[in-house]
Amino acid sequence: MPLLVDVRTPAEFEDAHVPGAINLPLAALEWHAERVSRDATEQIVLVCQNGPRAKRAQARLAAAGLTDTVVLEGGLNAWEDEDGPVVRGPEHWALERQARLVAGSLVLVAALASLWWTPAAFVAAFIGAGLVFAGLTDTCGMALLLAKLPYNRPTTKVDVEASLARISRAGGRV
């Protein structure tokens, strides 16, 4: 049976995850990729919110020698759309939604402020450039910053060692 490894942040995992999945955030997985590649005893299915982080994790694991991982296409969003079972915790707004709210608010305030102080338009241009960069690179600096806010921190911390130990349990590869 494959092992589900959710590479989202601990707060996202706490909000909702596939039953039986373990949480190994992308940064931790990237840091321990060689260990995961060496110790994995089951096929790994990588999960994130909608796919890109899981694909990044898959590429990192492949570079470390683990080439038979699978990405849950469409991520947790697609899983939920197909009525897959989900374990729910306290609900938080998704980072993507928070980033849209903050970016939109900054652009709106900057546009209005530019009616009285013209240089404020540069703030809107800067945010727009950041959104273009985020779209082109499939990364979002604003979401990374928002993830550090207390609201986005889980009530319990992820135990990376426990997650790595679960990956390396004896059980035979699929």
AA identity, residue 98: Q
Neighbour tally for 31: CB within 10 Å: 14
Q: Cite the beta strand spans of the chain per DSSP E.
A: 3-6, 16-17, 22-23, 44-47, 70-71, 87-88
Q: Residue 122, class by beta-carbon neighbours within 10 Å (0-12 exposed, 13-18 middle, 19+ buried)?
A: exposed
Q: What is the DSSP string of 47-59?
A: E-SSSHHHHHHHH
C-alpha–C-alpha distance, residues 156 and 109, integer Å: 36
Which residues are the active-site residues? 48
Kindly state the tokens that stand for 109: 């305030």
What is the maximum alpha-carbon separation in the chain? 67
